[in-house]
Amino acid sequence: MGDKITFTIDGKDIEADAGQTILEAAEAAHMYIPRLCAHPDLQPYGSCRVCTVLVDGRPQSACTQPVAAGAVVESGTDKVTEIRRQIIEMLFVEGNHYCMFCEKSGNCELQALAYRFGITAPRYPYLFPHRDLDATHPDVFIDRNRCVLCGRCVRASRDVDGKNVFQFVGRGPEKRIAFNSEANLAGTNLDVMDKAVDVCPVGAILRKREGFRIPVGRRAYDHVPIGSDIETTAAK
Amino acid sequence: MTATTESRKIVIEPVTRVEGHGKVTLLLDDESRVKQARLHIVEFRGFERFIQGRPYWELPVLVQRLCGICPVSHHLAAAKTVDRLVGGENLTPTALKMRLLMHHGQFFQSHALHFFHLSSPDLLFGFDADVAVRNVVGVAAKFPDLAVQGVMMRRYGQEVIKATAGKKIHGTGAIPGGINKNLTIEERDTLLAEMDQMLEWSQGAVKVAKDYTLANLDTLAGFGSFDSNHLSLVRQDGAYDIYDGGLRAQDAQGNIIFDHVDNQAYTEYLAEEVRDWSYMKFPFIKSLGPETGWYRVGPLARVNNADYFDTPLAEAERKEFAGVTDGKPCNVTMAYHWARMIELLHSCEKMQELLHDPDLQGEDLVVKGDRRDEAVGIIEAPRGTLFHHYRINEDDQVVMANLIVSTTSNNEPMNRAVQKVAADHISGKPEITEGMLNHVEVAIRAYDPCLSCATHAMGQMPLVVEMVGADGQLIDRKTRG
């Protein structure tokens, strides 16, 4: 660390610290790379692939790929945008994302990405999977219909809360979030103030009885697209 | 279209200029007399089933998706019910008044839409006027001032909803035990700036409906009309109330059947009958039974049932309305429109009153108390009394839901109206015209049924009339589109 290297994103010279990820370096240069599983307080994971960039022509996840001197990175090109759009659309069709009555609507990162990418309807057929809801915990409920398997809760519980409440089970279309208890969420030591409850990018993990307290018009993405904070800083 | 010597069935599908999708079937005998007339709401809503398992705080936002025309009614009925689940039914003044403002905004826009856009073509041009003219575009061409007023009044109501619920359609304002925002000074002043104009237009709308009804009273008195019971909420002192109060039912002569019934006890007084030909149930007053216990809801029932309006302009109009029937309940189906416009005026007056109330700028928005597992919320929707009934488990999930929407309560009355109009205007006629069939729709439109609770048709909604012979063969088919 400390050594400076130079590479390009969409033709623009970027100076970065060696060891930084492409996503971190881009953000420091006020360039927004869309992401879902990445979170500033958590270890990189590279599962959602929304942050896909082309590094010297090869697709890589920007949140896990370290910068390399002289690398040519494509992020805002039509080709990369189309890849990301398809990934986002697939995330929508493989779950049951009913924004219209979701408490997270307006604060949801997946929904905000769809708006940013101008996705009005996915091109792929909806899979309408059967997903379970667990409301047994006194203060938290999990609705797997909305889960995008980003793993933020897994990492937050393990690395920040030190509890390991969440973990993935199953493979492929059967993959889902499970708990470290015999039966249900009530059997875990999850606390309502845990980091794991806070980091869900969608409406899969929510605090109970708090729905819709923030009115329409005062939610994170009601007026500006997701990523505007990073880009707006650049304008200043 | 010419009658044949065979018995036949006429289908009007979908019924036009109503919210949603319904059809009418008329069975004619060998001499073209109407043997049977039925309104079918071709709905399968399913909400009561698929909200099971959802957490209760989603209900005000989720269940309002039943409808895009009057979602505020479902939003508030669900919120009232959920208030009780969290022990928060005694709302703060700010929360209560914000909800009232939202509700009156909803009445204002919904009644304006119904009267000006959907029904006025029949009243202004005649029931069997040329169908090319008898529509909202025709109204805009011949009565441009009226058409503009209708559009602008609807817009105003929608702006009130946006200011209170966050969005014009499917907002999130009402939350368990309260409201999620107050009214800013800027929002208040924007709405008040147009208030005088809205009041003037509202009075004009009452005059149009009243003048039409009185000028044609002899004709309208028999048009799809019949004696019925009337059901609505009334305030504790008997005043007109669309947000809260007890249930009052009176018969066609004005005798009280029950009064100030506690919302939570509605199942002791009302029941629902299932008939094999309809997806919709037929509610009735238990003490009278299904044969005579059916009742009407909506503007006519509310104006009949209320002892008075607590706003001066609407009360003066109510007195004039009641004077026509010497204070007895009015049973003229087409008088729904007049009653509806009196309600529109009242909502305008209430909005004015509320907008001047500083409680709307209060900061105390939510209350909570002792949790309950089961609750009922009843509200007056623009089309009539609306019941929401939920039971939840210890994990806060819905385990039972029962919704009785206004159109369900008006199921039997609408069928009777269809039957009567068909018998009076179609039965025995050698030729059946589009205008004659429109008479049937006019009677349905008087009730302003909200069929969109059920289905959401796309694009044009043509009128299809099919003649089917006794052997089931299609004899003739006409399409109006």
Shortest Cα distance from B263 to chain A (angstroms)? 24
Give me the pLDDT at residue B473, please: 57
Q: Specify the 3-state DSSP secondary structure of B394.
A: coil
Residue type for B129, please?
A: A
Q: Specify the 3-state DSSP secondary structure of A66.
A: strand
Judge whether A51 lies within some domain. Answer: yes
- Under an 8 A CB cutoff, do A216 and B57 touch? no
For residues A99 and A184, membership in a common domain is answered with yes
CA atoms within 13 A on the CB side of A147: 27
Shortest Cα distance from B97 to chain A (angstroms)? 17
ipTM above 0.90, yes or no: yes
For residues A60 and A104, membership in a common domain is answered with no
Give me the pLDDT at residue A53, please: 98
Closest chain A residue by Cα to residue B164: A215
Judge whether A110 lies within some domain. Answer: yes
Contact, B388 vs B104, CB < 8 A? no
Give me the pLDDT at residue B411, please: 85
Shortest Cα distance from B363 to chain A (angstroms)? 13
Strand partners, B476: B467
The Cα B250–Cα B201 span in angstroms is 32
* Phi, psi of B162, rounded to the nearest 5 degrees: -60, -40
For residues A202 and A118, membership in a common domain is answered with yes
Choose the closest CB to A212 out of B54, B180, B395: B180
Structural tokens at position B322: 């009641």
Cβ contacts of B451 within 8 Å, gap of 6 or more: B15, B18, B19, B20, B21, B22, B41, B43, B407
Q: Domain boundary at A51, A76, A101, which?
A: A76
CATH number assigned to the domain comprising residue A163: 3.30.70.20
Judge whether A35 lies within some domain. Answer: yes
- Under an 8 A CB cutoff, do B60 and A212 touch? yes
Mean pLDDT for each consecutive 10-residue tract of chain B (481 residues)?
A: 54 67 78 81 72 95 86 96 97 98 97 90 87 86 94 97 96 97 98 98 97 94 92 98 97 97 97 80 93 96 98 98 96 96 98 98 97 98 95 97 87 87 83 80 80 35 48 54 42
- Under an 8 A CB cutoff, do A209 and B58 touch? no
The model carries a pTM of: 0.91
- The percent of chain A in helix, strand and coil, each rounded to the nearest 5, is 25, 20, 55
For residues A71 and A110, membership in a common domain is answered with no
Residue B272 parent element (H or E)? strand B270-273
- Under an 8 A CB cutoff, do B181 and A133 touch? no
Judge whether A62 lies within some domain. Answer: yes
CATH number assigned to the domain comprising residue A9: 3.10.20.740
For residues A173 and A106, membership in a common domain is answered with yes
- Structural domain of residue A14, as residue ranges? 4-76
Which residue intervals of chain B bear CATH 1.10.645.10?
A: 47-408
Residue keyed to tokens 């039509």: A78
For residues A125 and A60, membership in a common domain is answered with no
Question: How many interchain CB pairs under 8 A, A with B?
Answer: 56
Choose the closest CB to B55 out of A100, A208, A214: A208
Shortest Cα distance from B349 to chain A (angstroms)? 27
Give me the pLDDT at residue B460, please: 33
Q: Taking the CB of residue B270, how many other CB atoms lie within 10 A of it?
A: 23
Choose the closest CB to A215 out of B53, B176, B180: B180
Judge whether A18 lies within some domain. Answer: yes
Contact, B386 vs B66, CB < 8 A? no
> Which A residues, 124 through 163, put their C-beta within 8 Å of a C-beta on chain B?
133, 135-136, 141
For residues A185 and A105, membership in a common domain is answered with yes
Q: Taking the CB of residue B271, how many other CB atoms lie within 10 A of it?
A: 16
For residues A53 and A112, membership in a common domain is answered with no
Judge whether A57 lies within some domain. Answer: yes
Give me the pLDDT at residue B461, please: 36
Judge whether A109 lies within some domain. Answer: yes
Cβ neighbours of B60 in A, within 8 Å: 212
The Cα B158–Cα B181 span in angstroms is 17
The count of domains in chain A is 2
Judge whether A232 lies within some domain. Answer: no
Cβ neighbours of B175 in A, within 8 Å: 211-213
Q: Does domain B47-408 have CATH number 1.10.645.10?
A: yes
Give me the pLDDT at residue A2, please: 62
